[in-house]
Structure 1
Amino acid sequence: MKKSLNKSEIDLLIDKSIDKIPFEMRKIKFILFVVKIVNKHKIKKDHFIKIVLFFYIIYTLYYFFIK
């Protein structure tokens, strides 16, 4: 029988798995995610660079101050 996990166990597993992924790798995945969204909505190149930088800064601040 499968044992169901409660929310705290799931959160703990997620935290452990996230810590195993290097920060640089997560940064790249995040930027690729933003690029995919921007391409989907056909945004101009100059706006694209601003959007990627904006999200990158937010993500970096989140990682260093909240984590």
Structure 2
Amino acid sequence: MLIRKGIKIQDIQKCIAGNGWSFGNEILYEMCGKNRKHKNADVVVGKVWLIGRSYAASIERRKNASEIDSGDDF
């Protein structure tokens, strides 16, 4: 069943203003901005862990991982 709803100017303004995820995104962007270099393993692991978990698309869960290459040794 197709549901049609008119778009009001308030709907557009609400989307432009931000959403509930804005604060968390700002924290992640700040973390990445302050730690641009990937010379320390703890910085890289921290970025991969937090970004991957927050967007539920972590790189260690790639589609082509096999039994031998489980993705844990990234």
State the TM-score, normalized to the length of structure 2. 0.32
Q: TM-score, normalised by structure 1?
A: 0.34
Q: Which has the larger radius of gyration?
A: 2
Comparing both structures, which one devotes a greater share of its residues to helix? 1
Question: Greater relative contact order: 1 or 2 (C-alpha under 8 angstroms, separation 6 or more)?
Answer: 1
